[in-house]
Structure 1
Amino acid sequence: MLEAERELVDGKYEGTRLGYALQLKFFLAHGRFPDGREEFDSEIVEFVARQVDATASQLDEYAWSGRSAKRHRSEIRAHLGFRECSASDVERLAGWLAVSVCEAEREPSRVRDELAGRMLAESIEPPSRKQVDRLVRSALHRSENSLCSRITTRIGPDAEDRLDALLGGTDDGDGVFSLIRSAPGNVSLSTLLTEISKLRAVRGGSWRGPRDRVDT
Structure 2
Amino acid sequence: MRQHWEPEDLIEVWTLLEDDMKKVRNKSGATRLGFALLLKSFEVEARFPESAGEMPAAAVGYVAQQVKVLAEAWAFYAWQGDRIKRHRREIREAYGFRANTEEDQERLAEWLAAELCQVELSRERLAAAVVARCRNDHIEPPAPKQVGRLVGKAVEEFKAQFCPGTMERLSVHVLRGRSLARRRRRRTHRLHVPQLRPPRQRTRSCARPHGPGTPTSSSLTRSNAAWFDTGPDRRGMVRAHTTSQ
Does the TM-score normalized on the shorter chain lie above 0.5? yes
Worse-superposed segment, 55-64 or 21-30: 55-64
Give the whole-Å Cα distance in 2 for the aligned partners of 1:12 and 1:81: 22
Q: Which sections of structure 2, spanning at least 5 residues, go unmatched?
A: 1-15, 176-245
Residues 155 and 72 (structure 1), Cα distance of their counterparts in 2 relative to 1, 3 Å cut: same
Runs of 4+ that moved beyond 4 A: 157-160
Q: CA RMSD in A?
A: 1.8
TM-aligned CA deviation for residue 100 of structure 1: 1.5
TM-aligned CA deviation for residue 19 of structure 1: 0.4
Which position in structure 2 is the counterpart of 1:167? none
Worse-superposed segment, 40-49 or 112-121: 40-49
Q: Which of 68, 78, 85 in structure 2 is aligned with 1:53?
A: 68
**Corresponding residue SS for 1:54:** coil
2:119 is the counterpart of 1:104: yes
TM-aligned CA deviation for residue 122 of structure 1: 0.4
Q: Which has the larger radius of gyration?
A: 2
Give the whole-Å Cα distance in 2 for the aligned partners of 1:127 and 1:149: 31
Give the whole-Å Cα distance in 1 for the aligned partners of 2:45 and 2:173: 53
Which position in structure 2 is the counterpart of 1:38? 53
Residues 159 and 63 (structure 1), Cα distance of their counterparts in 2 relative to 1, 3 Å cut: same
Which position in structure 2 is the counterpart of 1:25? 40
Which position in structure 1 is the counterpart of 2:30? 15
TM-score by length of 2: 0.61
Matches within 5 A, 1:127-142: 127-142=142-157
Residues 157 and 114 (structure 1), Cα distance of their counterparts in 2 relative to 1, 3 Å cut: closer
Q: Is the 8 A contact 2:50 2:143 kept in 1?
A: no
TM-aligned CA deviation for residue 59 of structure 1: 1.3
Q: How many residues align?
A: 160
Which position in structure 1 is the counterpart of 2:88? 73
**Corresponding residue SS for 1:99:** helix
Q: Which of 17, 20, 27 in structure 2 is aligned with 1:2?
A: 17
Matches within 5 A, 1:100-179: 100-156=115-171
TM-aligned CA deviation for residue 8 of structure 1: 0.7
TM-aligned CA deviation for residue 158 of structure 1: 10
Residues 138 and 13 (structure 1), Cα distance of their counterparts in 2 relative to 1, 3 Å cut: same
**Corresponding residue SS for 1:124:** coil
**Corresponding residue SS for 2:142:** coil
